[in-house]
Amino acid sequence: MSTAPAAPLALLAELTHRCPLRCPYCSNPVNLTRVAAELDTATWARVFREAAELGCLQVHLSGGEPTARRDIADLVRAANEAGLYTNLITSGVLTGEAKFQALVEAGLDHVQLSVQDTEPGSADRIGGYRGGHARKLEFARLVHDSGLPLTLNAVVHRQNLDRLPDMIALALDLGAGRLEVAHVQYYGWALANRDALLPTRAQLEAATATVEAARRDLKGRLVIDYVVPDYYAKRPKACMGGWGRQFLAVSPAGRVLPCHAAESLPGFDFPNVREVSLRWAWEESEAFNRFRGTGWMPEPCRGCERAEIDWGGCRCQAFALTGDAAATDPACALSPHHAVLSVAVGEAAEAGEAFTYREPQKVPG
């Protein structure tokens, strides 16, 4: 008899795919969920209760833009009443003082605010939303004045990475306790824009040096998380802590996923919270068990001393680059497909800066 997996640490609740921004690296699937297919308030409240019963400690309220939902305060309250630590992952552009105060009163614990750049014109161009950067700064001040902890999430790439020192300064100015310097991960919309986003090795080395110096100089003032791009790696990262090991996500339509990008993988019948419990999806479903652990691994992963460190890397990246979700992640230097990363880097070096934007009109409101 197989042993039930350990409880997940957190639930990523993707409340909607609606978003006023059009970020060309958006992690949402290319085919966006329509509003009519989104889970209702009562179903999300049940999901939050089931997540707490399963052992989750926190819920990340995400999207799209989660505050595009009119019931966002009710959803925060439901998660809080379920006993979950609530983190709102937001662009900040739709939330004024009254709406934010309602979220605080509903029990919101933490805010994670995305920024596209520090230079307003560049930030608005990347996000595809005029005036967005100014609204973000206004929202950040609301969070600071409320006393809630703030994390600044800076998704970095070739077109903004040179301003990383300014992003660190901005985090300090806004009173953030944590800064996530997250290099773009290339699947979905980001894969379509890879040539315009992939940084040069020189940029990456400079950014790494900047982060190391800032961590030393700002110790005790600002925590800096740093997620590097796999395209320059020799070993893969443990994506989401390993497939079905630490996290689970629920899509706007109710599909339960091992990670937010897993819907990009063909050949899966992901369970839906409209039909099964969160516990059954986590413990029993074939989708969660397919790449859980190490038994599924091909050579050279099988028997590798890092098998229970990186857990095979990213299944979505393996599929995006090889067409096979079970293949060794090309980020590993031992992968027979590792050379495709070098080819991509070379192609990006010759590319321009035009984007294919995420199109919110695909999700009619």
Whether the CA torsion 97, 102, 179, 116 is positive or negative: it is negative
DSSP 255: B
Structure tokens at 110: 């933490």
26 is annotated as contributing to ligand binding: yes
- Strand 256-257 vs strand 247-250: parallel, antiparallel, or unpaired? antiparallel
| 23 labeled part of a ligand binding site | yes
Does residue 349 contact residue 200 with C-beta atoms inside 8 Å? yes
Contact 328, 301 (CB under 8 A): yes
User: Chain centroid to CA 324: how far?
Assistant: 22
56 a known binding residue?
no
- Cis peptide upstream of residue 336 (ω within 30 degrees of 0): no
Half-sphere exposure of 131 toward its Cβ, with a 13 Å CA cutoff? 5
CB 79 within 8 A of CB 29: no
CB 117 within 8 A of CB 163: yes
Q: Which residues are annotated as a binding site for [4Fe-4S] cluster?
A: 19, 23, 26
Q: Which residues are annotated as a binding site?
A: 19, 23, 26
